């Protein structure tokens, strides 16, 4: 498939990240490396954002972890992962051997966790990291840093000192002022923002059994098509506050969604929940976007962005 039109360059000052396409699979919805290879054409990906990686192996949360709701799902996985050492030993070689572009998604419980992870990424010449400061499904870390502009500035600054590559910070929508968070990230040296992560949500199911109700509930992160209006609002707010690139996510399922996010400031996209419905969604969207640009004689992705923003 010829996808030359979809080449995307995310630029900030002296750093840039070149993607084959603007379509990225969101963290936690793809895996670590080549898990979807049997279903999709990996050449259609700009990158994959790996499953969130912590310093030590994590087993994740007990009990039910997924709850389906209208237009989406609630998850409380709890950052289950193999840990950075195992990732470097077993997953990174696969990514490099198969030349799969990726963002290393990192998460921690303390500032020191993030600093150590950034240093490990630096030592292993990892081109781009995505800092998760917005997962609502863990008891410590993440949101503790991600909802306070001062804490977020401090954390991002420390990560920046340990890491020279392309630094992306993933912001939470669970705030009353995402502009302040975005500004803090930019001033601290981040090269790019990805947004939004999941919204806090509660799913409840009541079954009438034996003349009484049996209640089942899952509290965690809400994602899927139902959060798209929130995501559009938040991306628009971020664009008004910063000049660094934005990778948008939140309910993207079809070509029209890409256009809508471009219109509010997106420079690239992450696809999350839709991967569980259709494992080929990322490659399909890349092909549809490429075909639209050919049909309408649009030279490249940069021109497409200008066409949409000027209309």
Does residue 44 carry a catalytic annotation? no
Q: What is the CATH number of the domain that holds 189?
A: 3.20.20.70
8 A C-beta contact, residue 50 and residue 105: yes
Give the mean pLDDT of the chain: 92
Predicted local confidence at residue 40, as pLDDT? 75
Written as tens digits, the pLDDT of the chain (311 aa) is 467 789 999 999 889 999 999 999 999 898 887 777 777 777 788 999 999 999 999 998 888 899 999 999 999 998 999 999 999 999 999 999 999 999 999 999 899 999 999 999 999 999 999 999 976 655 555 666 788 999 999 999 999 999 999 999 999 999 999 999 999 999 999 999 999 999 999 999 999 999 999 999 999 999 999 999 999 999 999 999 999 999 999 999 999 999 999 999 999 999 999 999 998 999 999 999 999 999 999 999 999 999 998 76
User: What is the span of the domain harbouring residue 119?
Assistant: 4-310
Predicted local confidence at residue 174, as pLDDT? 92
**pTM listed for this prediction:** 0.95
Chain segment 260-273, per-residue pLDDT in tens: 999 999 999 999 99
From 180, 182, 188, select the one nearest 246 (Cα to Cα).
182
Measured CA distances, 6 to 178, 261, 298 (Å): 29, 16, 11
Structure tokens at 233: 């609002």
Predicted local confidence at residue 144, as pLDDT? 64
Backbone angles phi, psi at 74, to 5 degrees: -115, 130
Q: How many domains does the chain have?
A: 1
Q: Helix/strand/coil (H, E, C) string of the chain?
A: CCCHHHCEEEEECCEEEEECCCEEECCCCCCCCCCCCCCCCHHHCCEEECCCECCCCECCCCCCCEEEECCEEEECCCCCECCHHHHHHHHHHHHHHCCCCEEEEECCCCHHHHHHHHHHHHHCCCCEEEEECCCCCCCCCCHHHHCCHHHHHHHHHHHHHHCCCEEEEECCCCCCCHHHHHHHHHHCCCCEEEECCCEEEEEEEEEEECCEEEEEEEEEEEECHHHHHHHHHHHHHHHHHCCCCEEECCCCCCHHHHHHHHHCCCCEEEECCHHHHCCCHHHHHHHHHHHHHHHCCCCCHHHHHHHHHHC
Predicted local confidence at residue 137, as pLDDT? 57
Predicted local confidence at residue 311, as pLDDT? 65
């Amino acid at each position: 498939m010829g996808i030359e039109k979809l080449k995307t360059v995310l630029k900030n000052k002296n750093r840039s990240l070149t993607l084959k396409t603007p379509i990225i699979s969101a963290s936690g919805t793809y895996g670590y490396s080549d898990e979807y290879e049997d279903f999709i054409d990996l050449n259609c990906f700009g990158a994959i954002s790996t499953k969130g990686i912590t310093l030590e192996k994590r087993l994740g949360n007990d009990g039910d972890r997924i709850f389906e709701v209208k237009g989406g799902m609630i998850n409380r996985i709890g950052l289950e992962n193999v840990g950075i050492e195992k990732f470097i030993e077993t997953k990174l070689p696969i990514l490099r051997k198969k030349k799969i572009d990726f963002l290393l998604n990192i998460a921690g419980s303390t500032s020191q966790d993030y600093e150590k992870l950034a240093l490990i990424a630096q030592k292993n010449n990892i081109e781009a990291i995505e800092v998760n400061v917005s997962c609502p499904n863990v008891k410590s870390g993440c949101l503790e840093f991600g909802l306070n502009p001062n804490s977020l500035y401090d954390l991002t600054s420390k990560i920046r000192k340990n890491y020279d590559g392309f630094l992306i910070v993933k912001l939470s929508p669970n705030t009353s002022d995402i502009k302040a968070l975005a500004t803090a990230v930019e001033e601290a040296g981040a090269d790019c923002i990805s947004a939004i992560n999941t919204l806090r949500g509660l799913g409840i199911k009541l079954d009438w059994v034996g003349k009484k109700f049996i209640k089942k509930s899952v509290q965690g992160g809400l994602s899927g098509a139902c959060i798209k209006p929130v995501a559009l609002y938040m991306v628009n707010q971020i664009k008004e506050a910063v000049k660094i690139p934005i990778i948008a996510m939140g309910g993207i399922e079809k070509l029209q969604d890409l256009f809508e996010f471009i219109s509010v400031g997106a420079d690239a996209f992450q696809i999350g929940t839709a991967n569980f419905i259709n494992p080929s969604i990322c490659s399909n969207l890349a092909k549809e976007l490429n075909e639209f640009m050919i049909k309408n004689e649009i030279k490249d992705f940069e021109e497409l962005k200008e066409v949409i923003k000027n209309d």
